Structure 1
Amino acid sequence: MKALGRIAVNTLKSLRRVTNSAVSIFLYQPKGTEGEEYHKWYYNTFVWNKTTWLGIECWKSVADMWNYQEILFDLKPSLIIEFGSNRGGSALFFAHVMQRVGIPFKVLSVDISHQRLDPVAKSDPDILFVESSSIEPAIAEQIKKLKEEYPGRIFAILDSDHSKDHVLAEMKLLRPLLSAGDYLLVEDSCVNGHPVLPGWGPGPFEAIKAYEQEFPDDYTHDAEREDKFGFTFATNGFMIRN
């Protein structure tokens, strides 16, 4: 009887917790600005430049990084193109995810200078680091060669010079190189007031708009991915090639 009594008491407590939780969820109605305010806090505290992948700096939103690994697993690209290497943390992250996916692949990471590149990232055999401006014709030729060696889907991410003209040039360079179903991420389109750094000036967000005015049918925005975690550094920048 005592055992039955304890079960009954515990069951009642469990039902009470479930009921209270359901009521709390029902009563709490978000105002719609929570994600934007958190975004501002996240960006303005510079916690993003204290983020590392296995000890190597990786200047990205951790929510975006989680999103990226989900995209990589679903897309299973054979070629990842990264414009903007910094210390190499994100290139190594992409390589580690793809190594677990288990298909042949290559990460091409391009930056104007690799002086800050971490030796651990540089030593990974699945990453090709190229020191160059990302908009040089030679980079397009490099991508063409890699496409022949690693045919299949492409995941491209732009995270180098965050000026409008440069990002627009990167998008145009990739235009003949990406095929239907390939994925393009335009990072730091959150600056210039979208919603952070309102005084930045025309940047990646404006580059996306300018590109779409010229080539309106090239991409479909992956709004579901973009909105998944409530905020992203790639505002309006999750794009699937049509």
Structure 2
Amino acid sequence: MEYLEALSSIHRILRPANYLEIGSRFGHSLALSEAPSIGIDPDFEIRVPLKAPTRLFAETSDDFFKRDVAALVGGPVDLTFIDGMHNAEFALRDFINCERASHAQGVIVIDDVLPRDIAHTSRKRNTQVWTGDIYKLVTILRKFRPDLTVDAYDVEMKGLCIVSGLRPGDTTLMDAYRDIEADILNGRYQLETIEEIIEIVAPRSTASLEVDLVRMDERRSKRSYLKGLVSADLSGYHAGTLEYRYRGIPCVKSPVDIAIYLRLLDELRPASIIEIGSKHSGSALLFRDMCRAMDIASQIISINLKLPSRLVSEGVRFLEGDAANLEFPFRQHGLFDLPRPWLVIADSAHSYAVSTSVLEFFEQHLSAGEYLVMEDGVLEELGWSARYQGRGNRAIAEFLAGGSRSFEIDIAYCDMFGRNMTYNPNGYLRRT
């Protein structure tokens, strides 16, 4: 796969809202964009028609970024392609500037990271094919910004790198820039053979590119958190949900989500259900009876800061524990040894901080194919988001946008009755 074909796949699958390109010379890569675009090159020779509304800036990228970039494209940049000056320190400056101009779910693509001949890596051009020493940028990003997702691909002739999980306000690279530049110029990141470069860059096969891009598109959380349940009657629907009883005990479960859970239970057949947040114990009783009716031998564990006043002891184990510090009850009660697979239902404190703690904890302790359901994101549409600092919706969006590959939104459950027609929008998360 050559680089224009790879870049075309990136545009087609990610469908960026806008596009910025550094190094547009003849316009072949710029012509792939169908979104409002910016091309930057001091020596334009556009030879192909451009499909999208495009603004060209015949100047260096350093000069360009003195502008308010967001004002030029109507908001933060969604997709960037860096193919400018082929010296690592120039590409690093471009990356710093591009990340600052992007949003957290944006993507930056870097060309020329995988040369096929060591002669192509010279810092001055002396061959027809020239990648320069851009491969060094992969090492630098992985070293100084381990929070980023930095994936290289073995695109023909020169390779391609895709960076996601951006943090536009991060100053790590800028703060270290002078030292990094000095190390580049002093040869610290220099490699002498193509074999060494391949080992360090560790490219993925382009055969996996499209699948990876589809997964990235979901992780970028481009899915709206707007609920299918939003209507003038949502408050009435919610009032009914709050009054819902199961066997006479308050359950506080949306009937739509009860139906979704029935399907999830049938398909996952969890050996353990871990409920974080017991409330009045009605939902634990409901899950116990669901499993019994479906002949699923599942242990039911329900964890709450304080034990419910009315306990259903048979078939349910109620434990005290803090959702913000799950390590303690899990170790105290030997829960790490619970039989697999697990289904975890996060329905405790609705704050952003607690939701983030739950995500981080189960990122470490769920196995591939198991589920974490982050409940009650619908509270945002009821006007309660500020009370919980954005609740689970914000936690999920930022967690996925941060580049984590540990969870993916399972849209089969989220959209079972229509797009996010659930109390748990984008909240059915599958461990990858």
Shorter-chain TM-score: what band?
Answer: 0.7 to 0.9
Secondary structure at 1:190's aligned position in 2?
A: helix
What is the identity, as a one-letter code, of the residue corresponding to 2:322? Answer: S
Distance 1:39 1:197, change over 3 A: farther
Long gaps (5+) in structure 2: 1-225
Out of 115, 134, 140, the residue aligned to residue 330 of structure 2 is 140
The residue that corresponds to 1:240 in the other structure is 430
1:118 aligns with 2:310: yes
Distance 1:147 1:76, change over 3 A: farther
Identity over aligned pairs, percent: 26
Distance 1:158 1:39, change over 3 A: farther
The residue that corresponds to 2:319 in the other structure is 130
Superposition RMSD on alpha carbons, in Å? Answer: 2.3
Out of 365, 369, 375, the residue aligned to residue 187 of structure 1 is 375
**Kept after mapping to 2: 8 A contact 1:39/1:232:** no
Report 1:148-187 matches (<5 A): 148=337, 150-187=338-375
The residue that corresponds to 1:229 in the other structure is 417
For this pair of structures, how many residues does the alignment match?
Answer: 203
Q: 2:360 & 2:228 partners in 1: Cα distance?
A: 35
Q: 1:182 & 1:203 partners in 2: Cα distance?
A: 22
Secondary structure at 2:364's aligned position in 1?
A: coil
What is the identity, as a one-letter code, of the residue corresponding to 2:319? Answer: V
Higher helix share: 1
What is the identity, as a one-letter code, of the residue corresponding to 1:134? Answer: A
Out of 302, 307, 321, the residue aligned to residue 109 of structure 1 is 302
Q: C-alpha displacement at 1:132, in angstroms?
A: 1.7
What is the identity, as a one-letter code, of the residue corresponding to 2:366? Answer: L
Which protein is bigger by CA-based radius of gyration?
2
Q: 2:233 & 2:383 partners in 1: Cα distance?
A: 8
Q: 2:393 & 2:271 partners in 1: Cα distance?
A: 27
Out of 78, 85, 91, the residue aligned to residue 271 of structure 2 is 78
**Kept after mapping to 2: 8 A contact 1:190/1:196:** no
Q: 1:216 & 1:233 partners in 2: Cα distance?
A: 24
Please report the TM-score for the alignment, with normalisation by the length of structure 1: 0.75
Out of 364, 385, 405, the residue aligned to residue 217 of structure 1 is 405
The residue that corresponds to 2:230 in the other structure is 36
The residue that corresponds to 2:240 in the other structure is 47
Secondary structure at 1:162's aligned position in 2?
A: coil
Q: 1:108 & 1:81 partners in 2: Cα distance?
A: 5
Distance 1:233 1:33, change over 3 A: closer
The residue that corresponds to 1:57 in the other structure is 250
Listed one character per residue, the Cα deviations across residues 140-160 of structure 1 (whole Å, up to 9, x for unaligned) are 3257x3453x42211111010
What is the identity, as a one-letter code, of the residue corresponding to 2:309? Answer: L
The residue that corresponds to 1:197 in the other structure is 384
The residue that corresponds to 2:200 in the other structure is none
Q: 2:336 & 2:236 partners in 1: Cα distance?
A: 37
Report 1:11-30 matches (<5 A): none
Q: 2:386 & 2:362 partners in 1: Cα distance?
A: 28
Q: 1:106 & 1:215 partners in 2: Cα distance?
A: 33
**Kept after mapping to 1: 8 A contact 2:352/2:395:** yes
Distance 1:198 1:178, change over 3 A: closer
What is the identity, as a one-letter code, of the residue corresponding to 2:407? Answer: Y
Listed one character per residue, the Cα deviations across residues 16-56 of structure 1 (whole Å, up to 9, x for unaligned) are xxxxxxxxxxxxxxxx9974217724455x11111011111
**Higher relative contact order, structure no. (Cα contacts within 8 Å, ≥ 6 residues apart):** 1
Distance 1:158 1:61, change over 3 A: same
Secondary structure at 2:302's aligned position in 1?
A: strand
Distance 1:235 1:42, change over 3 A: farther
Q: 1:49 & 1:97 partners in 2: Cα distance?
A: 20
Long gaps (5+) in structure 1: 1-31
Q: C-alpha displacement at 1:130, in angstroms?
A: 0.6
Secondary structure at 2:230's aligned position in 1?
A: helix
Q: 1:232 & 1:174 partners in 2: Cα distance?
A: 22
Q: 1:97 & 1:168 partners in 2: Cα distance?
A: 29
Distance 1:33 1:209, change over 3 A: closer
What is the identity, as a one-letter code, of the residue corresponding to 1:50? Answer: E
Secondary structure at 1:81's aligned position in 2?
A: strand
What is the identity, as a one-letter code, of the residue corresponding to 1:36? Answer: V
